[in-house]
A and B are shown apart, each in its own frame.
Chain A
Amino acid sequence: MIKIEGVKISGISVCVPKNFVNNEDLTENKKLISSIGVKQRHIASENQHTMDLCVIAAEKLIKEMDIEKNSIDAVIFVSQTPEYQLPATACIIQDILKLKNNIVAYDVNLGCSGYTHGLLLASSLVKSGLVSVLLLAGETPSKIVDNNDSSSNLLFGDAGSATIITQKVDSNISFVLGNDGSGFESIILDNDNNKKTSNKSNFLTMNGAEVFTFTLKRIPQLIKDTLTYSKLNKDDVNYCIFHQANLLMLKTLAKSIDINFDKFLISIDKYGNTSSASIPLTICHNREKIVKNPEKILMAGFGVGLSWSTAVSDLKDTVILPITEA
């Protein structure tokens, strides 16, 4: 349990590709569509990458919040689809956004748990004295999914997000994090330089049953721990904003942790599983609901690694922008 005092999520923005596909146009398997809960997904064009979506989200956030660029002391890019293997995409984004040179800029290679992990890193930097940190979490899984793989080709969508974390007295964010690397092959994209694994595919591969079981084993206890450490009762939580893994997973988790599914905010039906972008995307997609009840928001990310993390925060006075399509 990590509680960081004096920090706040000040603004959130998300950009998705304007191109989208309807899953019903791709398969007649209605049982699959209803189980994963994905009706449509936004898919990046050939020349549109994760960095591009995150940059658009960031530019909109900076403009709408009238953020002084010199106040941004760090940029963190969380993604598994970076622009290059090297250099870090955050370094490129610093230049594209015309941010100052005396800035912290680095990438984090995480997926489903990436947003909540990223929030911890950003909050820690703010707590250490930085004025504000720009957290960019995004993914373009369409670039790494095998279109012939029925376990993943209808599930994933593309999106990029930007979140600004700043100092604020009397505001805090609580975190619980964990990891179990013994399950690393459950969701994997190998590369040519590392052939130690049994996986020899050039595409993302996922053992859905293993991931499902991991989630059922780990996440209910994670939520219980988070509520205990945050001194919250499950009835106190206004909204659960969980990584949008798939609808069956979310419904099963809701029952397992005994929280009414009405408290679970959803975006997977319109955007699919967008990996590290799924939590901010779900926030922006449900902004009108959150504005009415912005306190005690429980966020949870879990998956590739296998890793997991939660963040409990108020989103009161947080600027939540409508989703941009580009």
Chain B
Amino acid sequence: MPAPADLLTFLRDVRLFTRFREPDLIALAESLRERHLRKNQVLFREGDPGDELFIVRHGSVLVSKAIKGRVEQVLDRVRPADFFGEMSLLDGSPRSATVQAEADATLLALNRSGLQRLTDTNPHAAAAFFSAMVNVFIERLRRSTHQVAEATRWGLEATGLDVESR
């Protein structure tokens, strides 16, 4: 069944696929599996096995990491055309964080076999995919570094600790 036009239009806005040609997008769309989440529904928890990358098509999801008891720190809020879960897709490691829907959401899932098919049949598209992925990684690494600094600042401010004079 051919991919609907609105899906192709959406995929063109996803950073991973911006350099894909039309036939590449059509081939990719066939590998994607749609999933629906209700508000508050957990997609996966930290430590769960997994090998899928998810692209948010509608709604938004929260990525969180356990801190203490029932409290988790919100690491990211993923909105339409953005994606998450790429680490398990690439290295097959357990999920490093929990993901839940902040509002009703529709996701597109790309699993490892879908990625393998893309790499095997369309090296040009695969190269574009990985190149975009590296850029996103760099961006997220920068954001993580900033988050660490902000968390440290939060701690210092919250405790009133005077480090400068020590």
Q: Do A and B come from one complex?
A: no
Q: Please give the residue numbers on chain A whose beta carbons come within 8 Å of chain B beta carbons, in ascending order.
A: none
B residues contacting A by CB (< 8 A) are none
